[in-house]
Chain A
């Protein structure tokens, strides 16, 4: 009997493509023969925009790359600029930066796990995750006045110091989070249907994952001990005690478990940061160009010039964002605006492996694999 192949367009408007992504699926009944990814529905030209903004003005745009975890995007950019201009950052600023980034890692993983379970049809985890996320977002709101698009980092430091009552609320959050993670694990980890859907699905070997340029939890789920916080330590990570979570299976379930473990590790890091928070300035006091006006209050900008001119040169700087390796390549020609910025976004590279992962699987597996990779389309299309 001859059967016809079915061509399905999944997306750009589809409930589980996490935004505007399009899969072109060549199907044999329910089995995916070939999956082609069509990108660009959320392309905003961020890299080109950067060429028309000053170094400072570009910070809000980095928020909008990976809008689920904006702090690491912020940090990756300012870190690159700081390396370019060779700026010394005060210790307290670094502590605050790492604190918000680890908090953001928890938020990101909550959304990742929540939307994964949502795609699998269990909407409860999404709501529970968002309950805790809301608490974290309130902390961010206390800190910088915004809930998702922070633009909190500044070149040479952070915008504002920790407000009163932030540390007690954070401690409360950590306590609460410990209990909630136990709840999540009770709900999901041993659920037979969840295991059926996740175990052994969309398996990728370590070698293949490296070849595809996968990073972050997706790579660590395949058994590669690769974490830039360890391999190329930046900020204060060398002083911190944390463990890199690795699973060897390489399937969707391993990627999920790595995320759960990483949330625990992030809580552990947060506790250390709270205990060792030093007292110092929150922004570098080096002065370039303009002298700040007298009488202005103590903000980031009074200690750092509005017009900032790094020396000519180029730099590539990368950090371990929640989704993987986030790198900024900046070419400076010695003017106030960058000559070129290239963003190496983790979502884009991880997404590239999807066609390989899902070949021969079924549509529900595509959803599960895609959810377990954890992609934000703002980060993919830039």
Chain B
């Protein structure tokens, strides 16, 4: 109660009300910052680590990415007569160690981040979905 007799003017609350009102009226560089996600998207940084893509010509199927992956996400499978990585994105934590490890610089991380899917099988990305040709857009 001693506290109350000191603070009965409630100046702190009034100051707070002023600053919230400034936000309501957008006074002084306090704009709305929401991005309406499905309708508009934020620009991703070039280094964004999304779904992987494998350069079809560069990949030699050596399996170094497989060895380096902390979560055993990567498996090397046969595709069109050659060996390519297959990624189970359900297990991937997008750390980028496979990209660092690749001796041929064949594996990349794309800007594709909407990877939700309906089944466990469909988050396993085989070479058919990962490969791209150099110069093509992945």
Interface residues of A (CB under 8 A from B): 53, 56-61, 63-64, 124, 131, 134, 138, 141-146, 149, 151, 159-160, 163, 179, 183, 186-196, 293, 296-297, 299-301, 306
Contact = CB atoms under 8 A, between A and B. Distances in A.
Contacts of A163: 45-47
Interface stretch (B95-103, B116-124, B126-134): B95-103
A141 B48 CA distance: 6
Given A146-B94, A192-B13, 18 more contacts: A57-B68, A57-B70, A60-B97, A124-B20, A131-B33, A144-B47, A145-B47, A149-B94, A151-B97, A160-B47, A163-B45, A186-B15, A189-B12, A190-B16, A191-B16, A195-B7, A195-B12, A299-B100
Nearest to A61: B70
A134 B33 contact: yes
Nearest to B10: A192
A297 B96 CA distance: 15
Interface in B64-94: 64, 68-70, 93-94
- Which 7 pairs from chain A and chain B are nearest by CB? A190-B12, A60-B95, A145-B49, A57-B70, A145-B47, A301-B100, A142-B45
A293 B12 contact: no
B37 interface: no
Given A134-B33, A301-B100, A59 B95 contact: yes
Q: Interface extent on B, as a size class?
A: 35 or more
A120 to B, nearest CB: 13
Contacts of B114: none
Contact of B16 (A56, A146, A186): A186
Nearest to A299: B100
Contacts of B29: 179
26 contacts: A53-B70, A56-B68, A57-B70, A59-B95, A64-B93, A124-B20, A131-B33, A138-B42, A141-B47, A141-B48, A144-B47, A145-B49, A149-B95, A151-B95, A151-B96, A159-B100, A163-B45, A179-B29, A186-B19, A191-B13, A192-B7, A195-B3, A196-B3, A293-B103, A300-B100, A301-B101
A191 B14 CA distance: 8
B70 A296 contact: no
Which of A53, A141, A143, A145 gathers most chain B CB within 10 Å? A145
- SS of B interface (majority): loop
A59 B97 CA distance: 10
A145 B46 CA distance: 8
Nearest to B70: A57
Interface of B: 3, 7, 10-13, 15-16, 18-20, 29, 33, 42, 44-49, 64, 68-70, 93-97, 100-101, 103-105, 109
- SS of A interface (majority): helix
A306 B95 contact: no
B11 A190 contact: yes
Contacts of B19: 183, 186-187
B70 A60 contact: yes
A192 B93 CA distance: 45
Given A163-B47, A186-B19, A57 B12 contact: no
Contacts of B16: 186-188, 190-191
A160 B12 CA distance: 46
Contacts of B69: 57
Contacts of A56: 68, 97
B68 A297 contact: no
B93 A149 contact: yes
Contact of B101 (A124, A151, A306): A306
A149 B10 CA distance: 43
A81 B96 CA distance: 20
A341 to B, nearest CB: 14
B93 A60 contact: yes
Which of B29, B46, B64, B95 gathers most chain A CB within 10 Å? B95
Contacts of A160: 47
B105 A191 contact: no
Contacts of A194: 12
Nearest to A302: B100
Nearest to A143: B47
Nearest to B94: A146
Contacts of B13: 191-193
Nearest to A189: B12
B47 A142 contact: yes
Nearest to A292: B103
Contacts of B3: 195-196
A306 B19 CA distance: 53
A236 to B, nearest CB: 24
Nearest to A147: B48
